[in-house]
């Protein structure tokens, strides 16, 4: 059941349902590693704790406007961090593919 479906049933907003799920540590994360198209999508599927930390650090509001209805934006985005990590790993010849099926869970 989606957050929107739950929200419709209980008379709340989808955002409110999502936030309550996060407070309760209930995340919609695909734990089956082989189902991800590539490593970037795999990593994006496992950064909820980072997002939560970012929101807590900013008191759940936009640091520019103070608005509580916001999207998270980072000065140095997640995609840059992952791409930088890939470059470092490639230099050490440890990453040979971006396909998740080429790697074990370990």
**Contacting residues for 35 by C-beta, under 8 A, at least 6 apart:** none
Distance (Å, whole) CA 52 – CA 10: 24
Q: To which H or E segment does residue 44 belong? A: helix 39-44
pLDDT of 39 higher than 80: no
Q: In the chain, what are the domain boundaries?
A: 1-30, 32-106
Q: Are 17 and 3 in contact (CB under 8 A)?
A: yes
**What is the pLDDT, as a whole number, of residue 101?**
65
State pLDDT tens for residues 6-26: 889 889 898 888 888 777 766
State pLDDT tens for residues 47-92: 878 888 888 888 888 888 888 887 777 777 888 888 888 788 777 6
């Amino acid at each position: 059941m989606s957050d929107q479906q739950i929200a419709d049933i209980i008379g709340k907003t989808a955002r409110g349902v999502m936030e309550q799920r996060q407070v309760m540590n209930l995340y919609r994360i695909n734990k089956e590693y082989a189902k991800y198209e590539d490593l970037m999508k795999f990593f994006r599927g496992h950064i909820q704790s980072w997002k939560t930390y970012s929101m807590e650090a900013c008191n759940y509001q936009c640091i520019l406007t103070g608005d509580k209805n916001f999207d998270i934006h980072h000065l140095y985005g997640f995609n840059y961090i992952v791409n930088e990590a890939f470059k470092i790993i490639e230099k050490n010849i440890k990453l040979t593919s971006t396909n998740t099926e080429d790697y074990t869970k370990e």
